[in-house]
Amino acid sequence: MSIIRRQGWGRTLLLMVAAVIVAAFASGAAAQADEALVPFMVNVDATVVASNGSAQKQILATANQEAILLIFIRKSTGIVNGVQKQINSPTIISNRSGKVNINLPTQSYKSAEVLLYTVHGKRILQSNVSTASNITHPNLATGVYVLSVKRTDGNIVTSRLTHNGGRLNISVVFGSEALSSNKRLAKETEEGVWLIHVTSVTKGYADSVYTLRPVAGMNAQQNITLRQTSSGDHVHTWGAWAVTTQATCSSPGVETRTCTQDASHKETRAIAQLTGTACNSGGGSFEMVTIGGLKWMTENLNVETKYCCSWCYGEDGPVRVDGEWKTLTSSEIQANCAKYGRLYYWYGAKPACQSIGKRLPTNEEWYALVRAVGSPAGKKLKSTSGWNDFNGQSGNGTDDFGFSALPGGYSGEDGGSLYAGDFGGWWTATEYGRNDAYRWIITKMPDENGSSDYRSTNEGYSVRCVEDI
């Protein structure tokens, strides 16, 4: 069973829009693909181009009006490999030893721009080419990068490149207008990740470039603020996102981040409109316990946010039970919500806490909780029942502080729920890059202390909200 995790007043309209867009792009849709609708709001008229190395979608966004981009997501998880035929398209080939060859059709790309970005959108190099050229970077760190070739009409072709460190050499040559082979190496394309390139229709604004991993159905709105360029233009070093307008039951909120090099440069994005208990019955009642200088909920959160972002364990697909996948009944799914609370995408966790007048704790606040509890913190925080055994030993805790941590499992990016009874994971408010955030985890190991790492924001984890004392 699969679901689209977005509901609300606009659903009928959005489905109508989706149908129109599907018809427009039908010839470019691959078989066995899910549809992802990604809303964009840009402060100026701009083109929005999404590319994943083997496909490209483009829309025109009118200033301050929502425009929806339709992306087809491959259902298969295999690595794309082989040759694709495209008319008058660049050929990008990497031999994985720091050398990249770009073959450009002479007329279509007679004046082209070659750019290299990190996967977080930071520009590493930029070069305009009109004849054969050799572009080098003397010492590039090991990692995955996005190579972009842009011609004067705005058409963009990209490829994800894996670099093993050291010197990078990009050789650009021009050939005739012909049918070219666009070869993709197996490790150059990360399944499900799209490069988003937003370019103003008028001159004088810097592009916005970043990566996005869309999910099937309606995605969170992308709020893009293109800034005016000046002689002092620079690559941004962004600070953390901060709430500038709180979401309410009648309207969405806004988060803003500021460039640390120039405070006049800002980006904004929307916070989902609130719903759930706070909007339906005046706030509800949630028991709290004070640990480490904060008030913590004593159970996992079980409220919905408007449109999307949360579900019960087993609601998004089969669950893993004793090594086999099983589809749960409706009553079993609801029982899981009552027992474990809901699982949330990371971008649904914040508004869910806000909907009951609380907030999502940071990663450091989870560490403070563990320090206050003392080792083994996981055992002291776990409930006294509900955890599976580990190697013949009980996985239950002592619940010394009334925190009552339960093993609600999690959901992967591709759907399907795993490890309820064995594992508990909770989102923190701390981001790691554009597409990841920190979580706190506790397992069924008897003397568990708990640990923190970062995961994709498109995975599903439990939520504990906090209040300041």
More confident residue, 122 or 269: 269
pLDDT of residue 281: 37
User: Both tokens of residue 222?
Assistant: 């992308």
Q: What percent of the chain stands above pLDDT 70?
A: 76
Enumerate the β-bridge partners of residue 73. Answer: 34
Give residue limits of the domains in the chain. Answer: 277-468
In single-letter form, the type of residue at position 162 comes to: T
25 pLDDT exceeds 50?
no
Enumerate the β-bridge partners of residue 27. Answer: none
- Cβ(91)–Cβ(102) under 8 Å? yes
- Cβ(297)–Cβ(285) under 8 Å? no
- Give the range with max mean pLDDT: 70-84, 227-241, 297-311, 336-350: 336-350
Three-state SS at 40? strand
* Residue range 249-298, pLDDT digits in tens: 556 778 888 887 778 878 887 776 655 544 543 334 578 999 989 999 99
**From CA 313, how far away is CA 412, in angstroms rounded?**
11
How confident is residue 386, by pLDDT bands cut at 50, 70 and 90?
A: very high
Burial tier of 133 (Cβ tally within 10 Å: 0-12, 13-18, 19+): middle
Enumerate the β-bridge partners of residue 268. Answer: 256
For 251, how many CA atoms within 13 A lie in the half-sphere containing its CB?
4
> How many CB atoms lie under 10 A from the CB of residue 95?
9
| 10 CA to centre of own chain | 23
How distant, in Å, are the alpha carbons of 149, 278, 306, 347 from that of 248?
A: 42, 9, 11, 16
Mean pLDDT score, 358-380:
94
**From CA 387, how far away is CA 117, in angstroms rounded?**
45
For 199, how many CA atoms within 13 A lie in the half-sphere containing its CB?
16
User: Both tokens of residue 168?
Assistant: 């990078």
pLDDT of residue 184: 32
How distant, in Å, are the alpha carbons of 41, 267, 347, 456 from that of 224?
A: 6, 7, 17, 21
Interior angle at CA 372, CA 371 and CA 376, nearest 5: 60
In single-letter form, the type of residue at position 167 comes to: R
How distant, in Å, are the alpha carbons of 136, 158, 163 from that of 99?
A: 9, 16, 9
Task: Using alpha carbons, select from 456, 460, 463 the residue that is nearest to residue 434.
Answer: 456
The rounded mean pLDDT for the chain is: 77
- Give the range with max mean pLDDT: 21-25, 40-44, 235-239, 316-320: 40-44
pLDDT of residue 177: 52
392 pLDDT exceeds 80?
yes
165 pLDDT exceeds 60?
yes
